[in-house]
């Protein structure tokens, strides 16, 4: 952060590299919760299930999976 705070942006109002990092880069980082949310959405929409699923820099391994459907809804559970 010390080096970034010394770098001034050439765009007015952006401040330093440190300011840019905390304003734009850090909030966009992908954490485990975001990866799991993405996995659940992709699995639900694609209807595809893989026991081991690579996603970003993570590898998700499920030991159990069940999908139940009715006319208007579906439920997916897994561990």
End-to-end CA distance of the chain: 39
pLDDT 10s digits, 9-30: 999 999 999 999 999 999 988 8
pTM score of the predicted model: 0.52
CB 59 within 8 Å of CB 65: no
pLDDT 10s digits, 41-68: 887 777 666 778 788 788 888 877 778 8
Closest by CA to 58, choosing from 78, 38, 28, 79, is 38
Question: What is the rounded distance in angstroms from the CA atom of residue 78 to the CA atom of residue 54?
Answer: 16
Closest by CA to 36, choosing from 62, 60, 65, is 60
Q: What torsion do the CA atoms of 51, 59, 39, 64 make, to the nearest 10 degrees?
A: 30
């Amino acid at each position: 952060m010390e080096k970034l705070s010394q770098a001034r942006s050439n765009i007015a109002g952006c401040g330093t590299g440190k300011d840019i990092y905390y304003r734009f880069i850090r909030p966009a980082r992908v954490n485990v919760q975001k990866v799991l949310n993405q996995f659940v959405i992709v699995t639900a929409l694609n209807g595809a299930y893989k026991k081991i699923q690579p996603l970003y820099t993570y590898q998700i391994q499920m030991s159990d999976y069940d999908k139940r459907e009715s006319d208007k809804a579906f439920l997916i559970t897994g561990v």
